[in-house]
């Protein structure tokens, strides 16, 4: 799938502007900012991921057994 790009005008402090040009390089700033922002603004399809995990019967059975065994650990905990 080909990504659709949108033009964005932002305002940054002069030091930030100079640093981006100096360290990241002209022509690479968009790629840098895109990768930096992605983790904060693009939510993965979490619902689909949960449904996929729930469909894995063996994994779900193991998870259920593990959580049920935690209850025994709490009952035996010293108070």
Q: Over the stretch 22-57, which tens digit does the pLDDT of each residue have?
A: 999 999 999 999 988 887 787 777 777 777 777 888
Task: Indicate if 22 and 37 belong to the same structural domain.
Answer: yes
Owning domain of residue 68 = 46-75
| Averaged pLDDT of the chain | 82
Could you give the number of structural domains in the chain? 2
If asked whether residues 33 and 10 sit together in one domain, one would say yes
Q: Are residues 1 and 28 in the same domain?
A: yes
Same domain flag for 38 and 53:
no
For residue 6, give the nearest of 29, 34, 26 by alpha carbon.
34
Same domain for 31 and 2: yes
Q: Are residues 10 and 38 in the same domain?
A: yes
Both 29 and 11 in one domain: the answer is yes
pLDDT at 77 > cutoff 80? no
Distance CA 32, CA 9 (A): 15
pTM over 0.75: no
């Amino acid at each position: 799938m080909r990504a659709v790009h949108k033009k964005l005008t932002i305002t940054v402090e002069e030091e930030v502007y100079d640093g981006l040009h100096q360290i990241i390089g002209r022509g690479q700033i968009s790629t840098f900012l895109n990768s930096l922002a992605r983790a904060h603004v693009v939510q993965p399809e979490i619902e689909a991921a949960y449904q996929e995990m729930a469909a894995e019967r063996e994994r779900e059975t193991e998870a259920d057994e593990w959580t049920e065994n935690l209850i025994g650990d709490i009952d035996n905990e010293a108070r």
